[in-house]
């Protein structure tokens, strides 16, 4: 279980009352609970959250992190009701799992099997695990972003499948396969997407024929889209927290975290503490600071400091300012419900105008889920 008070105020300088669009008197005592309660109030029927996919899976995974701390039964019931919409009486999910995005909600199956003991959830999780064995890969072992995106690796994709596979392996005696497959994928993805400036490119195509025009020399896309990098950052933290201390690829994964930490410090907006939609183009007209990625970067910096992967005042300051910057996008509206603003809608690989022009949503599940995962680690 992840506790909220994982870093003391004396370490990161993070204290309550830093926020927000609300007045100090109106600010909730517990922003995680306020966000969960507000979302449930808006969508009391979990079916209305959306279909089986990673956005609902991310948000509900965040809800479970809050549940682990507060033990509010209605939170677990809400997760269960959403999952039960898609898992039938025999434990079958009517999906082919032909893209990584469809696998992320498998984390909820593992959670519910552990919480309830109902074997249907294990059966459904088995369905995803079986598909992973046959899922197509690049010649060096990277799982394609989707079966229709031949030999393409997107930085978004690692969060969708790898943490699930590792948790499945640990839960059901499949550790050997899980350790090797997960760490290989992270290594392969990072080797292809790594940029010299401390960031990652959004995508890589081994064939060089993707519609987004890969660089002919490197196979990468042209830009550093914020949330794609954030997915990879969070995945490294979650995997490292479960990986054995003596695993042969552990040092490589920590080096990846250090690479990203340097980039996050380098490109953090000095005015807001957040990070831009296209991370290294902060001075260009039309760019904007994006809340979900800023939550993800803050989470990674905080966890990396706590685990000793990185150290130093620049990282401490970046984590503190990142948290403050995200909280400035959280408010309580006239109805008494929380709003989280400036969250990019779902995004493919594109050009600069495409990234700049993505809708800046309020209460998009990408941002709600990322905020919950961050806040459960950082809130005092």
Catalytic (active-site) positions: 156
Looking at residue 154, the DSSP 8-state letter turns out to be E
297 touches 290 (CB < 8 A): no
Q: Of 337, 349, 344, 348, nearest to 367 (Cα)?
A: 344
The gap between the terminal CA atoms of the chain, to the nearest Å, is 16
**184: its two tokens:** 């290989």
**73: its two tokens:** 């039964």
**47: its two tokens:** 């079916």
Interatomic CA distance for residues 281 and 296, integer angstroms: 19
Question: Residue 71: phi, psi to the nearest 5?
Answer: 60, 40
342 touches 290 (CB < 8 A): yes
Residue-level length of the chain: 380
Question: Residue 154: phi, psi to the nearest 5?
Answer: -110, 140
Tell me if residue 146 falls in helix, strand or coil. strand
Kind and range of the H or E element at 330?
strand 330-332
Looking at residue 273, the DSSP 8-state letter turns out to be S
Residue keyed to tokens 């209605």: 74
**How many CB atoms are closer than 10 A to CB 133?**
8
């Amino acid at each position: 279980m992840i506790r909220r008070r994982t870093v003391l105020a004396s370490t990161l300088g993070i204290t309550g009352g830093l926020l927000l669009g609300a007045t100090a008197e109106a600010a909730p005592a517990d922003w995680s609970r306020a966000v969960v309660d507000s979302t449930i109030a808006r969508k009391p029927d979990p079916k209305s959250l959306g279909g089986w996919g990673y956005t609902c899976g991310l948000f509900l995974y965040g809800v479970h992190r809050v549940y682990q701390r507060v033990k509010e039964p209605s939170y677990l019931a809400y997760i269960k009701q959403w999952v039960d919409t898609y898992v039938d009486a025999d434990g079958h999910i009517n999906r082919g799992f032909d893209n990584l995005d469809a696998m992320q909600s498998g984390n909820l199956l593992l959670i519910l099997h552990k919480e309830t003991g109902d074997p249907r959830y294990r059966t459904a999780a088995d369905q995803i695990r079986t598909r992973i064995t046959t899922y197509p890969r690049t010649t060096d072992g990277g799982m394609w972003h989707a079966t229709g995106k031949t030999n393409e690796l997107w930085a978004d994709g690692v969060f969708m499948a790898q943490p699930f596979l590792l948790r499945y392996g640990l839960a059901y005696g499949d550790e050997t396969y899980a350790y090797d497959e997960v760490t290989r994928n992270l290594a392969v993805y990072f080797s292809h997407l790594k940029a010299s400036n401390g960031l990652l490119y959004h995508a890589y195509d081994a064939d060089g024929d993707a519609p987004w025009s890969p660089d002919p020399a490197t196979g990468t896309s042209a830009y550093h889209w914020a949330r794609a990098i954030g997915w990879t950052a969070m995945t490294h933290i979650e995997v490292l927290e479960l990986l054995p201390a003596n695993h042969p690829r552990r040092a490589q994964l920590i080096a990846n975290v250090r690479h990203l930490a340097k980039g996050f410090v380098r490109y953090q907006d000095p005015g807001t503490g957040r990070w831009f939609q296209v991370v290294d183009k902060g001075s260009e007209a039309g760019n904007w600071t994006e809340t979900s990625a800023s939550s993800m970067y803050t989470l990674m910096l905080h966890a990396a400091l706590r685990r000793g992967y990185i150290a130093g005042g620049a990282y401490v300051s970046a984590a503190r300012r990142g948290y403050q910057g995200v909280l400035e996008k959280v408010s309580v509206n006239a109805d008494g419900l929380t709003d989280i603003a400036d969250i990019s809608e779902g995004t493919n690989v594109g050009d600069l105008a495409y990234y700049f022009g993505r809708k800046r949503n309020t209460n998009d599940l990408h941002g709600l889920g990322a905020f919950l995962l961050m806040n459960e680690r950082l809130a005092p």
